[in-house]
Each structure stands twice: as structure tokens, then as C-alpha cells.
Amino acid sequence: MKVAFQGEPGAYSEQAVFNYFGQVETQPCESFDAVFDAVNSGQCESALIPIENSLAGSIHQNYDLLLRNNLFINGEYPLRVRHCLIVNPGVKLTDVKKAISHPQALGQCAGYLRTHGIKPEQVYDTAGSVKMLKESGERDVAAIASRRAAELYGMQILEEGIEDNPENYTRFLAISKTASIPEGEAKTSIVFTLKNVPGSLFKAMSVFALRDIDLTKIESRPLQGSPWEYLFYIDFIGSIHDEVSKRALDHLGEYAVMLRVLGSYKRFAPA
């Protein structure tokens, strides 16, 4: 099985692929668009994309890509993100004047960097920052990335767990061309639009409340090409194969201008 992810080898996304799928072949991609293209073209059977971080919030680009592409969500996986301060071998902490990494990683370690007087500089990827540092050989620069990235590139870890908040998780979604039929407790992701009239969102939410369906996430996104109109993304507990969920979606269809099921999949449960 071949699974696409965004980033360089050693990226957190690749670690999530191995944690979720096991030992599969991975396909690094430069962008999220390229990840979706890899699955659409059949180059990869599946992909794992980040959809939200517990500290930084949603990855909005991937919500938009889920809508634009005819792919299905088959699963979810929350990855505990532990950032490492990585340097070329032999470099000491007192030598480090600058840290390079993805903007989110720098933001999640902002307090640590301030404390040590290290200037942040944004680059395109966490694992990519380690690759860049190795190629440059700089002795006053560190990269912020995963332990695996340091090991892959033969670099030195000065300190691990430098994120300011230890409750740092990124939720990933597994996507493919085919929809799954989940076993056990399921979660369903949908997207819909409503007429901009009083009470429309209240009525839409009521179809779930009336049936005691638990909503785990609600996200609104601008509807491209229609200023001040919005898409609503919702995750709820249940499967489209359940009778209660079917009735709720049929009821929602009475109010929604557009309604699409992005997938029903097994809800992640820690072992």
C-alpha cells in the first residue's frame, strides 16, 4: 500500500502515516494539492492529511480541498506532537542564535525560543528545515522538528519536548477514492450550505439535537464566489448506515441548499 502525505521524509505527517497504517510505502508531496492529486490519479491508494491542531486550530486549506475533490474520509488519527531542537553534530545550545521551521511549529515553541534568545525564521516544512540545516552546515542555527527527522538526517537533538503546551495534538484524516463502512462507534463528516434567512442555522442544528446526536465539531468557511455566504462543516457521532443518522440527514436535506457526506469512519479510540 502506498500512502501520500505533505512534507519531507521525517515530517510529523509521515509519522502519523506509520502510526495509523503500519509499515506502508510513503509518498512525500510538496503541497496539500499534490497529496489529493496523488490519490485522484491512483498513484497512491490513500493519503493522510492534517485537519486541525489542538493549539493552532483548523487547517482550512484541507477543508476546501475535501470539498473540491471527490474523495472520502475513511479514518482519523490524533498525533501527539513533540518538538525537538535539532542542530548539526557538536553544536551547543549557547551557539544557537536562530531557529528555522514551519510557522506553526515556531508558534508552538515561541515561549521557549524567547527564553533562550533564539530568533525564529519561517520555512516551508518541519522536516524540511532539518534537511536545509544539514545541507547548509550552519553552526548557529537550529531546526524544530520531530525526533525521527533528526535521526533520518543524522542530526543532533539538543532538547526534546520544547513546545510551550504539552497538550499539542494534530488530528489527521485518512482519505481515499472509496467510502468505508465503519465497524463499532463511528463518526461522520458532512458539509452543507443554507439559505441566508433567519433561523436557518438553528433549524439545521435542531435535526441533530432532536435525535440526541452528538456534534463533535462545527466549522464555517466562506463559500468561494458568493461573498458573505458560508459552508458549514460538521462532525457527528454516528454512521450514515445508522437509521437515526439517516433520518437526521434526510431532515437536514429539507433546509440545505447543498449537502454532501464526506465520509463515515471508525471513531479513533486510544488503545
CATH fold for domain 84-160? D-Maltodextrin-Binding Protein; domain 2 (3.40.190)
**Could you say which of 32, 36, 72, 172 is catalytic?**
172
Q: Could you tell me the residue ranges of all domains in the chain? A: 2-80+168-176, 84-160, 187-263
Cell of 91: 553544536
pLDDT of residue 271: 65
- CATH numeric code, 187-263: 3.30.70.260
Which residue, chain included where needed, has cell 516551508? 124
Q: pTM (2 decimals)?
A: 0.91
Calculate ∠ Cα 55-124-173, nearest 5°.
Answer: 50
Element (H, E) at 101: strand 98-101
User: Are both 2-80+168-176 and 84-160 of the same fold?
Assistant: yes
Task: Tell me which residue of 120, 90, 94 sits closest to 108, measured CA to CA.
Answer: 120
Residue 172 annotated as catalytic = yes
Per-block average pLDDT, block size 10, for the chain (271 residues)? 95 96 96 97 97 88 93 97 97 97 92 97 94 97 97 97 93 96 94 93 96 96 86 96 96 96 93 65
**Could you say which of 21, 32, 72, 170 is catalytic?**
170
Task: Tell me which residue of 45, 50, 9, 15 sits closest to 29, measured CA to CA.
Answer: 9
Multiple choice CATH, 2-80+168-176, 3.40.190.10, 3.30.2310.20, 3.40.1190.20, 3.10.350.10: 3.40.190.10
CA–CA gap between residue 115 and residue 95 (Å, rounded)? 15
